[in-house]
Amino acid sequence: MISINNVNKHYGAFQVLTDCTTHVNKGEVVVVCGPSGSGKSTLIKCVNGLEPFQSGGITVNGVAVGDPKTNLSKLRSHVGMVFQNFELFPHMSIAKNLSIAQTKVLGRDLAEAEVKGLQLLDRVGLKAHAHKFPGQLSGGQQQRVAIARALAMDPICMLFDEPTSALDPEMINEVLDVMTELAQEGMTMMCVTHEMGFAKRVAHRVVFMDHGRIVEDDSKEAFFDSPRSERAHQFLAKILQH
């Protein structure tokens, strides 16, 4: 589904990604982790072309992301993305947040889009909030709306960029629960996250990054039981202490 091959990216002389290669198969859940500044978020943003890269290739469902001839908007319309800071549109109601891209990008009619939005809102447990504005919801609720908004586009896969990092601790689980349910339904997912509990429960594979390189790319059992690199050892030791 997602194929990343020898991707390199630099800002001027500063190398952000070095020879990154990994694959996400259909129905697979891959967790990307690593210390901050390791390039995880940059890598996941390359997948839907929000960040350009200088060399290598990424294909999503067979479509080359870096190819100038690719219609990126069309590709993105069926690759869902969830951001660290939710990025709901603050000037629109929750219902409008869910319907706007369906009508303007997919060309669905408004009634159909609203029904679909409400169904998904119900699914993340927020149907009663449809008329509110994002500022009136808690962080956890906003992030669940953001997931519903992405799902409304009927995505072929979902990208999560640290979806729980900006949340208060008591709200993390409500978001992770939605993600877990999604994974169990067979959604193809690539998640940048520090939630190792989630990774252990849900992931099929774990990709560990450090200094812009993919250092480990293994099944979650292999990664958590016997990480091969010293760097991953240290990382896990620090994270799992708590």
Partner 1 sequence: MYEFDWSSIPGALPFLAKGMLVSLEIMVAAVVIGIVWGTLLAMMRLSSIKPLSWFAAGYVNTFRAIPLVMVLLWFFLIVPHLLEQLLGVPRGTDMRLGSAIAGFALFEAAYYSEIIRAGIQSVSKGQMAAASALGMNYWQSMRLVVLPQAFRNMVPLLLTQGIILFQDTSLVYVSALADFFGTASKVGDRDGRLVEMLLFAGAVYFVLCFSASQLVRFYQKRLKTA
Could you tell me which residues are beta bridge partners of residue 127?
Answer: none
Region label for 63, one of left (φ > 0), alpha (ψ between -120 and 50) or beta (otherwise): beta
If one asks whether residue 153 binds partner 1 (CB under 8 A), the answer comes out as yes
Phi, psi of 57 (to 5 degrees): -145, 150
The two three-digit tokens of residue 211, written as one number: 């200094």
Shorter beta-carbon distance to partner 1: residue 36 or 73: 73
Stretch that binds partner 1, among 10-18, 59-67, 71-79, 114-122 (CB under 8 A): 71-79
Q: What's the closest the beta carbon of residue 216 comes to partner 1, in angstroms?
A: 28
Question: Does an H or E element contain 201, and which?
Answer: helix 196-202
If one asks whether residue 83 binds partner 1 (CB under 8 A), the answer comes out as yes
The label of the residue with tokens 């589904």 reads 1
The label of the residue with tokens 């010293």 reads 230
For residue 75, the tally of other CB atoms under 10 A from its CB is 18
If one asks whether residue 144 binds partner 1 (CB under 8 A), the answer comes out as no
If one asks whether residue 156 binds partner 1 (CB under 8 A), the answer comes out as no
With a CB cutoff of 8 Å and minimum separation 6, the contacts of 133 are: 90, 91, 92, 93, 94
Shorter beta-carbon distance to partner 1: residue 49 or 227: 49
Residue from 101, 148, 189, 191 in contact with partner 1 (CB under 8 A) = 101
Q: What's the closest the beta carbon of residue 175 comes to partner 1, in angstroms?
A: 17
Residue from 8, 18, 77, 173 in contact with partner 1 (CB under 8 A) = 77
Could you tell me which residues are beta bridge partners of residue 160?
Answer: 82, 191
Residue from 6, 25, 85, 138 in contact with partner 1 (CB under 8 A) = 85
Q: What's the closest the beta carbon of residue 105 comes to partner 1, in angstroms?
A: 4
Residue from 30, 121, 150, 202 in contact with partner 1 (CB under 8 A) = 150
Site string for partner 1, 168-197 (x = CB under 8 A): ------------------------------
Residue at 103: amino acid letter: T
Q: What's the closest the beta carbon of residue 230 comes to partner 1, in angstroms?
A: 35
Residue at 69: amino acid letter: K
If one asks whether residue 224 binds partner 1 (CB under 8 A), the answer comes out as no
* C-alpha dist (Å) from residue 215 to 10, 34, 195, 237: 18, 9, 19, 16
Query: How many positions of this chain bind partner 1 (CB under 8 A)?
Result: 27
Distance of alpha carbon 223 from alpha carbon 203, whole angstroms = 11
- Chain residues that interact with partner 1, rule: CB under 8 A: 45, 48, 50, 72-74, 76-81, 83, 85, 87-91, 100-101, 104-106, 149-150, 153
